Structure 1
Amino acid sequence: MTMFGRTKQGPMTEKEKQAKIVRRIVLITLAVIVTAVAIIGIGGYLYISSALEPVDEDSDETVTVEIPIGSNAEDIGRVLEENGIIKNGTVFHYYIRYNNERGFQAGEYDLSPSMNIEEIIQELKEGMVVEEPEFSFTIPEGTWYEDIVHTIAEETPHELEEIEAKLEDESYLNQLIEDYDVITEDILNEEIRYPLEGYLFASTYEFHEEDVTIEEIIERMIERTQEHMVEFSEQVQESEYTFHQLLTLASIVEREARAQEDRPKIAGVLFNRLEEDMRLEVDPTVSYAVGEHKYMTSMEDLDYDSPYNTYRYGGFPPGPIASPGTPSIEAVMEPASSGHLFFYARRNGEVIYNETYEQHREIQEKYRSEWIEAEEE
């Protein structure tokens, strides 16, 4: 029977009642979840915003704060928080990392709790370092671990054997794994030649005390690598690869590229080859495998049996083959997108990219004589 064109509904069945209750429960649950997420998000935003505001904007107090030479962003944040200049050192640390703020200077500063975050940052950039270091050393980008250790031994009071022993001490390596997020158990892989290869950041280091320990030197270098992991934490989390693997690729890019413009392109080729389940087949890994810097690799070299030889073994080598610099790390974190699967580096620095092996072979045959002549010089 119809009334005004609509079918008259009978009483709901038990099944319909249950379905209605379930829908109501689902809607209530979703509302609770959305509300909780919103509250957490708003709370987090308000907390961070509050942490970046002046400690006391009405304060007339001035505090003399000393920023020690060699302090990193985390150290500076901790000193400022301890002296009551900022509310939270950790928030300060990540704020300056997110905004890529650099150029902070060591020294003494007269700061006030009434200063906002930008005023504090500007003050810290205008300081002057007048103290000459007791010793310093520079590690060029792309340097092998063996050469880094020799440089440290030559430029610091520590003996080569003493440094090598410390860096091969399993208990010390395990302590580094515990202390630094950037160091993982990947470095303990028995196929790795040197556990800290690639993790000793290429840069200039100054030390203002004669009695600096080996641990302090090494950990200063690891901290620089850690800072880059923090800077690119979003890319690392989104990647299907670990930081250890990405650092390994960055070290290959470092040894392959000469021009900055080629770094992201080469990184893109390496990722393309991995995605196609192809061997990386890059010469710097062969040089590292045989333990000798080479202009060009021979057929004998290509057959050298080592897990680092990417002509013989697929996937990643066990670990980095050198210490990459910032541009190479950036290139791996943000590689160029292309269909290229091959590249060839000429002696003059030009890099030629191709999509097919046939094209790549033509380029090899055309320019191979350049490297033969260089080796004969």
Structure 2
Amino acid sequence: MSEKQEMNQPKKNQARDARKVRRIVLWIVLAFIVLVLIGLLTGYFYVRAAMAPMDETDDTPVEVEIPSGATVGGIGEILEEEHLIVNGTFFRYYARFQNATQFQAGIYELDQTMNLDEILETLQEGPDREAYSVSFTIPEGLWIEDIAETIAQETDHDEDDVMNLLESEDYAEDLVDEYDFLTEDILHDDIRYPLEGYLFPAMYEFVEEDTSLEVIVDSMLQRTSEVYDQVVEETGSENDLDPHDVLTLASIVEREAQTAEDRRLIAGVLFNRLEDDMQLEVDPTVAYAQGEHLYMTSLEDIDIDHPFNTYQNSGLPPGPIASPGEDAIRAIFEPEETEYLFFYARVTGEVIYSETFEEHEEIHETYRDEWIEAEEEEESEE
């Protein structure tokens, strides 16, 4: 081999190696593209199958009961068990994608010729209401006495009987053994009613006119359990709070806020105050301690010596002060992170946030007369 050839040999080797690398990279890119295409095609055909009727030739009616307070995930599981859809989890995500979450409880006649969109539409339209003997709605933020009153008004049960059951420690102990999210915390001496905050606000319907109180309460607790688990799953949150603490904070947020944005902001303020070892100082806990709904909270009111008075006691109150809805519970897992330590709610519903006590006091002085005038106007109308 000549000297010139010897000099060119490394260059030839480098070129050969470069071609090999290019071929390897090309094959890797092609393999990746093929895998992506396979994934996209697989996903496409899966979604197509999941949305299509299970059997276009079988129109045999299938009676499906959607229980009161069922979650979207729970409804998906029911439909999958009845072989009306391919997958309950896909149903849940598709329903949320379509913003179709306001399903109505009841008994439906569906069949396997219905596609997913038709099923969603039917569940939102609702069943034949005449099939139900008992129907009532519990709004968010009610005290347990108010819930008992609503149940008594809409059923054949006496209000005293409802309260006796809800106050029963033996009944509460049995429920602690039955439900994982119920703990011994609900049996604490400072708790007024063991199930305060645990009866989920929603519409409840029952076929039987003589539906027992136990069945009614069980439906409400089951709904709370399902919603709580669903929120935990969807938020992927791992905070240090147990369900009792979450519902306690959520109940305060529910009583303080009117919008989803304010719920998350107020949740953030509560966490900031707890982290700074500040008392929560929230008016709804004072009203709960007083045992009456207060239009305004006075200096005399906040002097009450009571475990639920967050002006006098540090940390969380012993338990929930009302029944929070899903959005208030979700706010505890997804609070808005800010530097705010104070908030003030105006008569108009607007909530004003501040970082310092001086700012808060200035806001308080600016808008306090609104509440005084509104209270005087209300008293004059009465």
Task: Give the TM interval when normalised to the shorter protein.
Answer: 0.7 to 0.9
Task: Give the Cα–Cα distance (whole angstroms) in 2 for the partners of residues 63 and 209 of structure 1.
Answer: 26
Query: Contact 1:262/1:351 (CA < 8 Å) preserved in 2?
Result: yes
Match of 2:140 in 1: 141
What is the Cα deviation at residue 229 of structure 1? 0.7
Deviations 1:150-170 (A, max 9, x none): 111111011112112222223
Amino acid across the alignment from 1:130:
D
Once the two structures are TM-superposed, the CA of residue 371 in structure 1 deviates from its matched residue by 2.0
How far does the alpha carbon of each residue in 1:181-225 deviate from its partner, in whole angstroms, 9 at most, with x for none?
A: 332222112211111111111222222221211011112222221
C-alpha distance in structure 2 between counterparts of 1:135 and 1:273, whole Å: 43
Amino acid at match of 1:257: A
Within 5 Å, which residues of 2 pair with 1:184-333? 184-234=183-233, 235=235, 238-333=238-333
Aligned to 1:68: 65
SS of residue in 1 equivalent to 2:62: strand
In structure 2, relative to structure 1, the CA distance for the partners of 1:327 and 1:233 (3 Å cut) is closer
Task: State the Cα distance separating 1:289 from its structure 2 match.
Answer: 0.4
In structure 2, do the counterparts of structure 1 residues 303 and 209 end up closer, same or farther at CA, with 3 Å as the change threshold?
same
* Structure-2 separation of matches of 1:126 and 1:288: 36
| Letter paired with 1:107 | Y
Q: Does the CA-based 8 Å contact 1:182-1:243 persist in structure 2?
A: yes
**Structure 2 contact 267–336 (Cα < 8 Å) conserved:** yes
Alignment of structure 1 residues 84-103 onto 2, 5 Å? 92=88, 95-97=90-92, 100=96, 102-103=101-102
Change (3 A) 1:131 1:348: closer
Identity of aligned residues (%): 53
CA distance in structure 2 between the aligned counterparts of 1:67 and 1:146, rounded to whole angstroms: 33
1:306-360 Cα distance to aligned partner (Å, 9 max, x none): 1110001111111111112233222222111110001111222221111111111
3-state DSSP class of the match of 1:193? coil
**SS of match in other structure, 2:111:** strand
Q: 1:120 to 1:258 in 2, by over 3 A?
A: closer
Residue by residue over 1:241-276, the C-alpha shift from the partner in whole angstroms, topping out at 9 and shown as x without a partner, is: 112211111111111123443221111101111111
What does residue 174 of structure 2 align with?
175
Contact in 2 for aligned 1:67/1:76 (Cα 8 Å): no
Deviation at 1:370, TM superposition (A): 2.1
| Alpha-carbon shift at residue 180 of structure 1 (Å) | 2.6
Structure 1 counterpart of 2:42: none
Structure 1: 5+ residue runs without aligned partners? 1-48
CA drift of 1:304 comes to 0.6
Secondary structure at the residue paired with 2:176?
helix
> Counterpart amino acid of 2:229?
V
Once residues 260 and 59 of structure 1 are traced to their aligned partners in structure 2, the CA distance between those partners, rounded to angstroms, is 42
Give, in whole Å, the separation in 1 of the partners of 2:50 and 2:327.
34
Q: Provide the C-alpha distance between the structure 2 equivalents of 1:102 and 1:187, rounded to a whole number of angstroms.
A: 31
Could you tell me how far apart the structure 1 residues matched to 2:125 and 2:359 are? 56
- Contact 1:144/1:322 (CA < 8 Å) preserved in 2? yes
| Residues 167, 97 of structure 1: alpha-carbon distance in 2 compared, 3 angstrom cutoff | farther
Other structure's SS at 1:224 match: helix
Secondary structure, counterpart of 1:163 in structure 2: helix
Structure 1 or 2: larger helix share? 2
Q: Does 1:125 align with 2:123?
A: yes
Distance 1:79 1:305, change over 3 A: same
| Match in the other structure for 2:5 | none
State the Cα deviation string for residues 62-92 of structure 1 (Å, max 9, x = none): 65421125363577566556655578xxx73
Partner of 1:160: 159
1:41 corresponds in structure 2 to none
Shift of 1:179: 2.8
Distance across 2 between alignment mates of 1:79 and 1:297: 47
* Equivalent AA in structure 1 for residue 248 of structure 2: T
Following the alignment from structure 1 to structure 2, what is the Cα–Cα distance between the partners of residues 327 and 84? Answer: 31
- The count of aligned residue pairs is 322
CA contact 2:169–2:194 (8 Å) conserved in 1: no
Distance 1:293 1:58 in 2: 56
**Is the contact between residue 286 and residue 310 of structure 1 (CA under 8 Å) also seen in structure 2?**
yes
Partners of 2:212 and 2:199 in 1: CA distance: 16
Q: Give the TM-score normalised by structure 1.
A: 0.75
Q: Aligned partners of 1:59, 1:70: CA distance in 2, in Å?
A: 27
- 8 Å Cα contact 2:134/2:207 also seen in 1: yes
Distance 2:111 2:76 in 1: 16
Instruction: Give me the whole-angstrom Cα distance separating, in 1, the residues matched to 2:225 and 2:276.
Output: 30
